[in-house]
Amino acid sequence: MKLSIDIEKKFSAFSLRFGTTIAGKNTGIFGPSGSGKSTVVKILSGLMQPDRGEITIDGECLFSSTRKINLPPEKRRIAMVFQQALLFPHMSVKSNILYGYKRCADAQRRLNPDALLELLRLQPLLKRGPGNLSGGEKQRVALARAVLANPRLLLMDEPLSALDDTLRFQIIPYLKSVSTEFGIPYLFISHSLVEMQLMADHAIVMEEGLIREETTPEMLARTRMAASRHGYLNLLRISGAEDRNGMFACRWGGNVLLVSENPGTGEALFELSSREIILFKKNPEAISARNLLQCTVTELFRSDTRIGVELTSGGEKLVAEIVPRASEELGITTGSTIFAAIKASSFRRLS
């Protein structure tokens, strides 16, 4: 999928200028609310008309002010998942899911509805009405409905914002697997950096109606480390939890970590702030923190007045945050060995 977009739109108190080419499968648009993300979504889907510019997808022109082309939304084959699920209240879950599929030309029906229902575990919900589904179920139905319209691009406009934290991170694997399994590229719009890190390979940063920069979510998280309230958030996938004196010992790469929150069975996602990691030059032998990892410093980076230290341990990476003075005292350089202490309670379970 190759999407070229170069558009302008003026409102009374706000103007938008958005020009870029998107080629990757998992691209994110990141920015605070009011930065123009949703306007871009509306313009791409054809629900709003830009003042001027051009939009082409895989060589087909969707909009061109000079050539007077403006494809209506139903001809663009760009499906959307919104912040609210927006299920049709007068239809059953099944009719909701098949709404776009039924309106799709036979030649474009590439997906098998049963396989998707299986993947999203929607079979038990089919006969119900949308009125008594939970928030997460609603969003899964909305996702299935959008995907079955066989779009060439899926726009996800803050699809997780209306869900609570636990649900948010339960839905993310579904969003990703649907795109991978069925080969549908997506544009993921969010104001959450963690969501960007989990969902996108490439991030377009918007501010006040303009593209501020194009980068990777990882780079974005690193440069914003010092300014962010929570520092850099390390995302750890851990598995194989075992109860050990009221704490849980789990595998994380080649290491064993002790966490205080129950990770449950199977794989779980935890976050760890870069500010919760204490670095030691030598093995401190006895400390109260329950995790002490021997690490190699693989990279140092600057974020305002702080220094980010990328550590590698057991094949996994962590970012710790220190002030320059500490860096000098510890004599940290790339390649040096260092000990990282982390309290078991510092890990916060996301899913």
In whole angstroms, what is the distance from residue 290 CA to residue 260 CA? 10
Residue number, 125 or 322, with CB nearest to another protein: 125
Q: How far is the CB of 131 from another protein (least distance, A)?
A: 5
Residue pair 188/26 in contact by the 8 Å Cβ criterion: yes
In whole angstroms, what is the distance from residue 247 CA to residue 239 CA? 14
In whole angstroms, what is the distance from residue 263 CA to residue 270 CA? 8
End-to-end CA distance of the chain: 31
Residue number, 90 or 229, with CB nearest to another protein: 90
In whole angstroms, what is the distance from residue 154 CA to residue 184 CA? 7
When computed from its CA atoms, the radius of gyration of the chain, rounded to whole angstroms, is 23
Does 37 bind another protein (CB under 8 A)? Our answer is no
Does 24 bind another protein (CB under 8 A)? Our answer is no
Q: How far is the CB of 85 from another protein (least distance, A)?
A: 9
Residue pair 339/259 in contact by the 8 Å Cβ criterion: no
Q: How far is the CB of 168 from another protein (least distance, A)?
A: 21
Within 10 Å of residue 348's Cβ, how many Cβ atoms? 17
Contacts of another protein in 39-98 (CB under 8 A): 45-47, 72-74, 76-80, 82, 84, 86, 88-90, 92
Contacts of another protein in 142-201 (CB under 8 A): 145-146, 149
Bridge partner residues of 243 (DSSP): 248
Nearest to 277 by CA among 339, 344, 340: 340
β-pairing, 52-57 with 268-273?
unpaired
Residue number, 92 or 260, with CB nearest to another protein: 92
Does 138 bind another protein (CB under 8 A)? Our answer is no
Eight-state DSSP code of residue 167:
H
Does 103 bind another protein (CB under 8 A)? Our answer is yes
**Binding track, positions 197-236, relative to another protein; x by CB under 8 A:** ----------------------------------------
Q: How far is the CB of 90 from another protein (least distance, A)?
A: 5
> With CB under 8 A as the contact rule, which of the stretches 118-126, 141-149, 195-203, 265-273 interacts with another protein?
141-149
Residue number, 104 or 338, with CB nearest to another protein: 104
Does 315 bind another protein (CB under 8 A)? Our answer is no
CA distances to 90, 142, 168, 272 from 93, rounded to whole Å, are 10, 9, 21, 38
Site of interaction with another protein (CB under 8 A): 45-47, 72-74, 76-80, 82, 84, 86, 88-90, 92, 99-100, 103-104, 128-129, 131-132, 145-146, 149
